[in-house]
Amino acid sequence: MNQIPVTILTGFLGSGKTTLLNRILTEKHGQRIAVIENEFGEAGIDNELLVKDRDEQIVEMNNGCICCTVRGDLVRILGDLHRKRDNGEIRFDRVIIETTGLADPAPVAQTFFVDEEIHEHYRLDAIITMVDAKHAPLQLDEHHEAQEQVGFADRILISKSDLVAVDQISALRSRLVQMNPRAQIALAQHGDAPIASLLDVYGFKLDAILEIEPDFLTDVEHEHDDDVTSFVFRESRPLDLMQLERFFSEVVTDYGPQMLRYKGILNIAGTDKRVVFQGVHMLMGAVDGQDWAEEARETKIVFIGKNLPKEKLITGLRACISSSD
């Protein structure tokens, strides 16, 4: 009864996990939440996109995939959080783990059953999977991780339904039910989801998982596609917005299908606000973020994709550095 409930928030790249997490953090549910962030690649962005006006504990893990090389770090972080909570150093009522979009949730869920200390103090409440209505059909065809994310879900939330026709949503829903008939499915536009149905679900049933994956507790092998890589572009000098828009327009035309996810914080000439930039394949957009505070202004963009022309992208971005500053 004293176990801390844990929610695993998963979904393929660009499906809207961070948007939903921000919605949960800002909801008036009266609970303190510890957030564990994991990103694929050498640097993280999502931690900078999370709301910071509450007293959540946010821990970032960006030195690998949470279901692979950093699983030991996950055990350590959960252990540290519990000890600090017991000592009165921090206060939280539950934990949300946001996985990288390339994570297989099975090894993450395993942690709560095969590690004795973690099992004693934490209860895996549910796996929530975000599904991108626009790109899911292709992602489910091509990526084993996307299939696993749906298969292990206790709740499935379909995002970006406004970008596709009603019959496409119906076809996607039917496919998801066929893949996982036990998960509840709902639409979630821009993170607008019934929060009460996502917390204290008591949805993860070990016996049900063992029926569909008998090796769940023993199989720890997991590999990513070798052609999926990531890199980060950093630049302290401000960028010219019009040049940047022209550059990305050309890039998505030439390489859009290979660009699984790209996102970042932009330092744009002539504005005191950060610009939050995100894209998936051919879809991209930007919105004004918070004002730059005392920290050094810096553009940081993470690219995740298949066989991306890294040098060409970096050269093109450097050509967008503003000449007016």
Task: State residue 66's pLDDT score.
Answer: 46
Does the residue 217 lie in any domain? Answer: no
Same domain? For 195 and 301 the reply is: no
Same domain? For 233 and 204 the reply is: no
**Whole-structure pTM value:** 0.73
| CATH number of the domain where residue 93 is located | 3.40.50.300
Task: State residue 65's pLDDT score.
Answer: 44
Same domain? For 110 and 184 the reply is: yes
**Which residues make beta-bridge pairs with 38?**
61
Report the C-alpha gap between 110 and 114 in whole angstroms: 6
Segment-wise mean pLDDT, segments of 10 residues, the chain, 325 residues: 88 89 82 79 47 51 47 81 89 89 82 83 92 93 88 91 94 93 88 83 67 57 60 91 92 86 88 86 83 86 85 93 78
Does the residue 324 lie in any domain? Answer: no
Spatial CB neighbours of 29, under 8 Å, sequence gap ≥ 6: 195, 196, 199
Same domain? For 109 and 238 the reply is: no
Same domain? For 242 and 186 the reply is: no
Domain count, the chain: 2
Same domain? For 148 and 286 the reply is: no
Same domain? For 96 and 31 the reply is: yes
The full length of the chain comes to 325
Does the residue 136 lie in any domain? Answer: yes
Task: State residue 116's pLDDT score.
Answer: 84
Task: State residue 52's pLDDT score.
Answer: 45
Domain that holds residue 98: 4-212
Burial of 116-133, coded b for 16+ CB within 10 Å and e otherwise, reads: eebeebbbbbbbbbbbbb
Q: What is the DSSP string of 17-74?
A: HHHHHHHHHHS-----EEEEEE-SSSS-SHHHHS--SS--EEEEE-SS-TTTTTHHHH
12: nearest Cα among 232, 155, 159? 159
Same domain? For 68 and 43 the reply is: yes
Q: Supply 100's token pair.
A: 């990288």
Task: State residue 166's pLDDT score.
Answer: 94
| CATH number of the domain where residue 248 is located | 3.30.1220.10
Same domain? For 69 and 161 the reply is: yes
Q: What's 183's DSSP letter? A: S
Task: State residue 67's pLDDT score.
Answer: 46
Same domain? For 260 and 138 the reply is: no
Please name the residue that has the structure tokens 């040098």. Answer: 311
Please report, for residues 47, 66, 197, 211, the alpha-carbon distance to residue 39 in angstroms, rounded to integers and kept in the order given: 9, 8, 26, 30
Same domain? For 236 and 206 the reply is: no
